[in-house]
Chains A and B, each alone.
Chain A
Amino acid sequence: MKPDSTFREIGPQTDRVTVRFGSSELSLPRGENLAGALLVVGVMPFRHTPLSGAPRGPFCMMGACYDCLVEIDGINRQACMLQVTEGLQIERPSIKGAGNA
């Protein structure tokens, strides 16, 4: 994970909640799109492909491409279709389980 990000928030700041991404603790804007919020704090890649292990990140932001998959409660989910909520525990999808999207 890069400490810096090439995605900048231009909107008004909203209140933050704490979520965990792997072993890091992140402060993200409550209720905002999860994929967007992760991009701003420098999360990249989101996952690695189960076939070649190539890195991937958000591509379509509209729930069609599945490149922004993250693992939440053991289930691979599209980060771009989720909202930030307090206490989310996010993992990179395990390569083995990446096919169960």
Chain B
Amino acid sequence: MHSADLIVIGAGPAGMSAARRAAGSGLSVLLLDEQPAPGGQIYRDVDRASKTRGAILGSDFIDGLALTRRLAHDNITHLRGAVVWQIEEATRVNFTRNGKAELAEGRRILLATGALERPMPVPGWTLPGVMTAGAAQILLKQSGIACERAVLVGSGPLLYLVATQMVRAGVPPLALVETQTKADLARSLRHLGGALRGWPYLLKGLRMLWELRRAGIVRHVGATDIAVEGDRSASGVTFRVGGIEHRIACDTVLLHHGVVPNTQAARSIDIPHRWDDAQGCFAPECDEWGRTAVSSVFIAGDGAGIGGARAAALAGELVALEIARDLGGMTERERDAEARPLRSGLGAERAARSFIDSAYPPYAGALAPADDTIVCRCEEVTAGEIRRTAGLGCLGPNQAKAFVRAGMGPCQGRYCGLSVTRILSDTNGIPPDETGYYRIRPPLKPVTLGEIAALAEHETAEVGK
């Protein structure tokens, strides 16, 4: 069994920066991450990819090297390919690595599990050839693979980033189909006061748009009635702009309309969550130090509320300081002094967020999908079936499981939970907070009996020593 002062789950910006700060404060740190290399999704495989594809992926990606390099510290044990599937007693973590289950015990646990793409149920979104924009970026970062004849669909800065990276890779997208409207942009202007503090982000946005324009990438803005066509795989996207119907033939459709906190691990140990109306998602309840209602468990980064990579790295450090104080590694005064520059940095990082959130709202057509659109990909449950359960008295997602098996497939609701909450909330006229979410139970990821048996063998061997 592994043991450490602090177990960090997730080696993205929040997890990496927290691990280093905690290690620097004298704590022993066990860093568990599913991937073969550190970086999380935003800096996926940055150690390798920055060498061969740095020019395509851009300087914001290469920035991740500063975090991965700092993981080399005597107090940090980084286990790669460690898939966490259970947290017990708020101190024990079960995970599988190399086909065998292992157990780790920590005095404190930090959940740095990041974000997931917001589910975007549109007709045809389950067809092969339809992926998230994040998936296309992961292919580019980790594997140096570009999607040909692709159309990017949805809203948000990530669409522009992926499109510019594709242009630089010599495989430009066929078009961008954007769902935000001019009215959204007008509404977002009242947040500009804050956004001006976040001007580097606005500048980056404008640069990307300019780069796309120069490359001749067509942008369709204010799209509605989006659907993916195809029989055995995606063959085109249809949509309307200003009453005019469009069809673009393509091989790949990349969907994105924002990211949301990945709350699976936090929910599995009953940390309370609240509905965040501005970001249209649930977020775990935690204080400014990442403390949760479970006293030994903390949360940092996008998993606590979407703020982006730089904000996550700063938040990771802040939470590490509080954990160090909590375990007697520093005084409150020392913690506050070290936290001050981090907090001011965090304020600047968050400044542009409300502007971005209102300028690029989620696509309305995917928040209230048509009746025949599949919402739960695993169990192939449509929006209409969820609405019908409401008519039968179904008040929340948990009951929807029993009615139609929504959320009961292998993804455990990761790509339907928010849709089901929203549809039931709208149909029943009950707010999302009251409608609630799926109850998430371990195992968080599938684990075989053989893997668990390996844990028992290991434990027996330890006892026999």
Contact = CB atoms under 8 A, between A and B. Distances in A.
Contacts of A101: 410, 446
Interface in A43-101: 44-46, 49, 51-52, 54-67, 69, 75-76, 81, 83, 101
A59 B140 CA distance: 14
Nearest to A13: B144
Interface string B33-70: 01010000100000000001100100000000000000
Nearest to B230: A55
Contacts of A40: 145
Contacts of B377: 59, 65, 67
Most chain A CB neighbours (cut-off 10 Å) among B145, B169, B446, B448: B145
B348 interface: no
A12 B146 contact: no
A33 B143 contact: yes
B239 interface: no
Given A8-B171, A64-B415, A59 B378 contact: no
A90 B148 CA distance: 26
Q: Which applies to chain B's interface (DSSP): helix, strand, loop or mixed? A: loop
Interface in B126-171: 126-132, 134-135, 138-140, 142-150, 169-171
Contact of A62 (B52, B135, B149): B135
Given A51-B380, A62-B41, A11 B448 contact: no
B458 to A, nearest CB: 20
A32 B380 contact: no
Interface in A9-43: 9-12, 32-33, 36-37, 39-40
Contacts of A11: 52-53, 143-145
A10 B143 CA distance: 9
Q: Which applies to chain A's interface (DSSP): helix, strand, loop or mixed? A: loop
Given A9-B144, A11-B143, A62-B138, 14 more contacts: A6-B150, A7-B146, A8-B148, A10-B169, A10-B170, A10-B171, A12-B52, A49-B380, A55-B128, A57-B129, A63-B83, A64-B411, A64-B415, A81-B34
A95 to B, nearest CB: 13
A59 B253 CA distance: 10
Interface string B72-86: 000000000001000
B409 interface: yes
B414 interface: yes
Contacts of A7: 139, 145-148
Interface residues of B, number: 50
A35 B129 CA distance: 13
A1 to B, nearest CB: 11
Interface of A: 6-12, 32-33, 36-37, 39-40, 44-46, 49, 51-52, 54-67, 69, 75-76, 81, 83, 101
A55 B139 contact: no
Interface in B443-465: 445-446, 448
A36 B148 contact: no
B252 interface: yes
25 contacts: A6-B129, A6-B150, A6-B251, A9-B144, A10-B170, A12-B52, A33-B139, A37-B143, A39-B145, A45-B232, A45-B233, A52-B380, A55-B233, A58-B135, A59-B130, A60-B132, A60-B415, A61-B138, A61-B139, A64-B262, A64-B411, A64-B414, A66-B411, A76-B446, A101-B410
Nearest to A29: B143
A75 B447 CA distance: 10
Contacts of B131: 58-61
Contacts of B262: 64
A60 B148 contact: no
Closest 5 pairs (CB-CB, A-B): A11-B144, A57-B128, A36-B143, A61-B135, A6-B251
B157 to A, nearest CB: 19
B139 A65 contact: no
Contact of B145 (A36, A65, A76, A83): A36
A83 B135 CA distance: 16
A87 B101 CA distance: 24
B211 interface: no
Contacts of A65: 377, 411, 414-415
